[in-house]
Structure 1
Amino acid sequence: MSTSPYADRPWLALYRDGQPTDVEPEFANLLDMVEDAVRRVPDQDAIRYFDGRISLAELDAAANALAAALQHRGFAVGDRLALFSQNHPSYVIGMLAAWKAGGVAVSVNPMYKQRELGHLLRDSGARALLCLDEVHAVAAEVLADSGHGVDIVITSSGRDFQTRNDPRVLPDREMTPLPHAVALLSLLTDHAHQEPVHVPAARPDDPAFLVYTSGTTGDPKGACLTHANLVLNARNYREWMELSSHDAILAIAPLFHITGLVGHGVLSLLLPAPLVLGHRFHPEVMVELVREHRPTFTVGAITAFTAMVGLPGVGPDDFASLTKVYSGGAPVAPTVADEVEAVLGSYVHNAYGLTETASITHLVPPHRRAPVDPDSGALSIGVPIPSVRARIVDASDQELPPGQVGELLIAGPQVAGGYWGRPDATATAFPHGELRTGDVGFMDADGWFYLVDRLKDMIIASGYKVWPREVEDVLYGHPAVREAAVVGVPDDYRGETVHAFVSLRPGAVATETELVAYCRERMAAYKYPRAIGFVDELPKTASGKILRRALRRGGGT
């Protein structure tokens, strides 16, 4: 009889003798995957954007036209197309066109300013740029300088592909013109019914996407994700989240982020299933999209769900179609998970992954609830999915037994081969092909994994280690606290001291003295916060992660 911690656990049926089985990609590359979907159900909706609908056949034809237009302008095999866009149909058309022309797509955060965009274009060596009108001003500043290498510029409007404008996400604004740029819709008209010149089929290990890290240390680095990385992990979403072509996907996460790219964009084309886009995240708009399009699946940061369920007058009836809900990209406190479930009507399953792992590596399986560690109070991130080799190691990279805290290391076919043009950074982050995640956690005796915090966020107070997440989880238990973030600040006596930032629920009142006392009653003396700052909103990334580094630099917004 197997002594594996995974024995007799049916949700881990894809494991054999406690070891994850290798899963082969169904398709050699992403285009084979898309062509299979178009062949099977050409008239099915591929994208729903407000009141606009694009079928799989129409999406494929648009991507063919854009690929032909790119090639006509000199775009060649191996060239990079940067996508500077919100959750808009042009993003999906652009990535498909890049692959059809034999190139590589590059994700660009639409919140980037001149310095950040300039770095990304130079670092990726992008030949072409597709951008929305709302970021023209930033693009114009960058393109006016030499050294970026971009000689093909294509623009699109947020109003393209739909007729009903929502002023909350598509306000009227004066657009900065981009010299020598051509409109996407014009290219699709001029090259309608054309197909790109034949290029060699992409191999599984060929680059498909450069997805840039958030740049928490230094400039962002481009994780080089292959066709096999993306096809394989889209399949893992489908199999482990029990999805099919009968589902519809609500794109809560931004497509430029790894969760949105794989868990929304690539997944929708694999199933295939309609992808419901709403330009950018706005809680009221997202709820309206759920009511109108009745999506069944989504994955996003827990902060997105708390914003949606916190709207006045919403309840389980509004979200009745969303029966398969996952949270990734940011930690989840147990009390917050319970509060979201009460309004959403569905249990929010945890999922974990990184840019460098092409999204998910761990998740809470369907029909299961994540256990809560009795000592740390952490909610489990789930169990490893097939092909993932996950282990917890100490400072000497020696594997630790269940229950002991160390750094999480991950290997498997989902893991990127490294960073684009960064051999030194690749060698540091991917020793022997195994990713050092920088996340600290442990595995329990039943094989569930838990995260404690990020290595870089650990606070040393009077020689003791303090993990911000533990303090944050306690603060989330206070009825007045809506969001919380904890950082270490210099202290002459303690070295570092614990400082918390909180935003309160609408209409709630709490004092610093009250919250400090609340924490003091619930944790060791060296852990509780010595100071608490109140902010209206905590700073966040576009994917919903709270930016502790911004708080260290001077507070919230």
Structure 2
Amino acid sequence: MRALPGIDARGRWDIPARLNMARQCLDHPADRIAITEVSQDAVTEVTVSQLAARADGLARALALRVDGGARIGVLLGQSAWCAAAHLAIWKIGAISVPLFKLFKHDALASRIADAGVEIVLTDDEGAALLGDLAEAWLADTAGIAGDPVPFADTGPEDPAVLIYTSGTTGTPKGALHGHRVLTGHLPCVAASHDFLGQPGDRLWTPADWAWIGGLFDVAMPALALGVPVVAARMQKFDPQACRRLIADAGIRNVFFPPTALRMLKSADVHIGGLRSVASGGEPLGAEMLEWGRRAFGLQINEFYGQTECNMVASSCGAAFAAQPGCIGKPVSGHEIAVLDAAGAPAQGEGDVAVRRGSAAMMLGYWQRPEATAEKFRGDWMLTGDRGRWEGEFLRFVGREDDVITSAGYRIGPAEIEDCLLTHPDVATCGVVGKPDPLRTEIVKAYVVLREGAGVRGEALQDWVKERLASYSYPREIEFVDSLPMTVTGKVIRKELKARAARETAV
């Protein structure tokens, strides 16, 4: 694979002794387009100098109130002000805490209290959501005019951003990252977009910038690489509106979360003119990859990571063909292993782990030393995912807590979900283990059908039997109107497991 940003000629991390992420994002020609804001009313081009001026204004105001190390919330949708808020916080050596506007009161309250946030940079909508949880500063009016603000003299290990996990496997924890985290994302971001930074590249995602997938898979890497990033948050993802936006804004590179891809596939929306499409968060499966080739005229590049250590493996259509069912190969700078219970390389399925030294790896969980220690096994950070090697490719089997044990077989739900999603009547689904006195667990599928579809459960069972191992078909199928989802669009299997357990107890 050709050279990747953040990696030196020997394939090692190229990280200076002093590093500030705000400088990385703003160290470009002043007149270069940094962000293209798209709204219903207008399209606004924000240059590097204009973005820097906004960040400086906020940095001056914040410096009068807080010291380095303070945690400052950012409750803003995709916008230049959202980027400027994070840059201002990093510029003074403080720690930014991304917050979702889709969070309800209790979710905001728990994160603000846990992080010790006193000030939140936001807008009118966000201020209403906050109430009295923290002091709300309207980002577009809070700045103070003056001379440029110097970058704080920070190093790669100095704390910069506190990102809370999505809570798919327990109470959300704050993953604290240092200033090296942006560099840590660059190789995989570049690879997943077929070497991002080509002439004419322009990057966008429908994902909110409060999620690590929006902020560090798209917004900040684009700024660091000098690639214009489009800010156009959709209140509700609409496949046709998405196609129009991509055409009107001249978008060439897109990160689509799997949920968005499923909606595009369901509507059979084809989008031309793209140079790269990346996806991560859940495995896609062969059917989705094949549809992507027809719909976009290119290979969807899957990548892998999590809040604690993101973007560590990827496919790259410009360098090698994807292997269906796998999430790609380890990217330069990240060493990945599949370990058995003793911590040795597994023969077959095991625990996916990343070796210490990855620049994308968290410093630790915020104020949770015991949870941090439990995350590691020697030099390896355990992802909590199960996987196996298929040559150089990594296959995701499922979350460790999601793996189903049935009649002595260990069954990953992802493969069954992928198979069900190939049925033309299935819109989305979630597969879990349901307690069973004979088999320990049985496979149960919760299925949302497409509008107007009328397939029966027996037909879906036969569909899986004909395509997967005979022991892995769903012995129970329940049709539902919707599935529990995180704000990032992942199915919350723990809620489905709890529901299945309650059914057994009745």
Q: Does 1:206 align with 2:158?
A: yes
Of 241, 248, 252, the match for 1:285: 241
Q: Structure 1, residues 262-317: CA drift from partner, whole Å, max 9, x if none?
A: 121111211212211222452243222201112111223222123234437x43xx
CA gap 1:486/1:432 in 2 versus in 1, 3 angstroms: same
Shift of 1:488: 1.3
Which shows bigger deviation, 224-233 or 273-282? Answer: 273-282
Q: Does 1:394 align with 2:340?
A: yes
Matches of 2:461 and 2:110, distance apart in 1: 42
TM-align CA RMSD: 2.4
Give unmatched runs, 5+ long, in structure 1.
1-10, 144-149, 155-182, 373-378
1:276 and 1:289 in contact (8 A); partners too: no
Q: In the alignment, which residue of structure 1 is the partner of 2:13?
A: 23
Matches of 1:55 and 1:354, distance apart in 2: 31
Q: In the alignment, which residue of structure 1 is the partner of 2:353?
A: 409
1:25 and 1:232 in contact (8 A); partners too: no
DSSP-derived class of the 1:388 partner = coil
Q: How does 1:85-484 map to 2 (within 5 A)?
A: 85-140=76-131, 143=133, 150=134, 152-154=135-137, 183-188=138-143, 191-196=144-149, 198=150, 200-238=152-190, 241-244=194-197, 246-280=200-234, 282-283=237-238, 284-311=240-267, 314-315=269-270, 319-357=271-309, 359-367=310-318, 368-372=320-324, 379-401=325-347, 404-411=348-355, 412-445=358-391, 447-484=392-429
Matches of 1:513 and 1:41, distance apart in 2: 62
DSSP-derived class of the 1:54 partner = strand
2:93 and 2:160 in contact (8 A); partners too: no
1:349 and 1:369 in contact (8 A); partners too: no
Matches of 2:224 and 2:152, distance apart in 1: 22
Q: In the alignment, which residue of structure 1 is the partner of 2:503?
A: none
What is the total number of aligned residue pairs between the two structures? 485
Q: Structure 1, residues 28-54: CA drift from partner, whole Å, max 9, x if none?
A: 2212212312xx243424232322332
Matches of 1:210 and 1:298, distance apart in 2: 25
Matches of 2:379 and 2:256, distance apart in 1: 28
CA gap 1:536/1:291 in 2 versus in 1, 3 angstroms: farther
When normalised by structure 2's length, the TM-score is 0.89
Which shows bigger deviation, 207-216 or 518-527? Answer: 518-527
Q: In the alignment, which residue of structure 2 is the partner of 1:544?
A: 489
Matches of 2:103 and 2:124, distance apart in 1: 14
CA gap 1:508/1:354 in 2 versus in 1, 3 angstroms: same
Which shows bigger deviation, 479-488 or 416-425? Answer: 479-488
Query: Aligned partner of 2:479: which letter?
Result: F
1:392 and 1:409 in contact (8 A); partners too: yes
Shift of 1:442: 1.1
Query: Aligned partner of 2:316: which letter?
Result: P
Shift of 1:20: 8.3
Q: How does 1:20-99 map to 2 (within 5 A)?
A: 21-25=11-15, 28-37=19-28, 40-50=29-39, 51-72=43-64, 74-99=65-90
DSSP-derived class of the 1:526 partner = helix
Which shows bigger deviation, 533-542 or 405-414? Answer: 533-542
DSSP-derived class of the 2:200 partner = coil
1:287 and 1:308 in contact (8 A); partners too: no
Percent identity between matched residues is 29
Matches of 1:309 and 1:528, distance apart in 2: 24
DSSP-derived class of the 1:122 partner = helix
Q: In the alignment, which residue of structure 2 is the partner of 1:168?
A: none
Shift of 1:95: 0.3
Query: Aligned partner of 2:218: which letter?
Result: H
Matches of 2:136 and 2:72, distance apart in 1: 10
CA gap 1:28/1:370 in 2 versus in 1, 3 angstroms: same
Matches of 1:24 and 1:31, distance apart in 2: 17
DSSP-derived class of the 1:34 partner = helix
Query: Aligned partner of 1:460: which letter?
Result: T
1:20 and 1:387 in contact (8 A); partners too: no
Query: Aligned partner of 1:274: which letter?
Result: P
Q: In the alignment, which residue of structure 1 is the partner of 2:504?
A: none
Q: Structure 1, residues 363-383: CA drift from partner, whole Å, max 9, x if none?
A: 1123232113xxxxxx11111
Give unmatched runs, 5+ long, in structure 2.
501-506
CA gap 1:117/1:498 in 2 versus in 1, 3 angstroms: same
Matches of 1:387 and 1:20, distance apart in 2: 10
1:333 and 1:476 in contact (8 A); partners too: no
